[in-house]
Structure 1
Amino acid sequence: MNTVRVTRITVVAKGVVALELRSADHRPLPTWTPGAHIDVHLGPGLTRQYSLCGDPADSAVWRIAVRRQENGRGGSRHVHDNLSEQDLIEVGEPRNHFPLQPAPRYLFLAGGIGITPIRPMLTAATAPWELHYAGRTTPAMPFHDELAADPRVTLYPNGRFDLDALLDRHPPGTRVYCCGPSGMLQAVEQACARRPDHPLHLERFTAAPAGRSEAFEVELARTGRTLRVPADRSILEVVEAAGVPILSSCREGTCGTCETAVLAGTVDHRDTLLTPAEQAADDTLFPCVSRSLGPRLVLDL
Structure 2
Amino acid sequence: MSPADFLTDLLNPDLAFLPKALLVAVMSSIVCGVVGCYVVLRGMAFIGDAVAHAVFPGLAVAFVLGGSLVVGGTIAGVVTAILVAVFSQSRRLKEDSIIGVFFVAAFALGIVIISRAPGYAGSLQQFLFGSITGIPDEDVYVVAGTGLLVLGIVLLLHKELVTISLDRETARSLGIKVFWLDLVLYVLVTLAVVISVQTIGNVLVLALLITPPATARLLTDRLGVMMALAPAIGGLGAFVGLYISWSWDYPTGGTIVLVLTGCFLLAWCWRLVKNKTQSYFC
Which of the five TM-score ranges fits, normalised by the shorter chain? under 0.3
Normalising by structure 1, report the TM-score: 0.20
Normalising by structure 2, report the TM-score: 0.21
Q: Which structure has more strand as a fraction of its residues? A: 1
Higher relative contact order (CA 8 A, sep 6+): 2
Q: Which structure has more helix as a fraction of its residues? A: 2
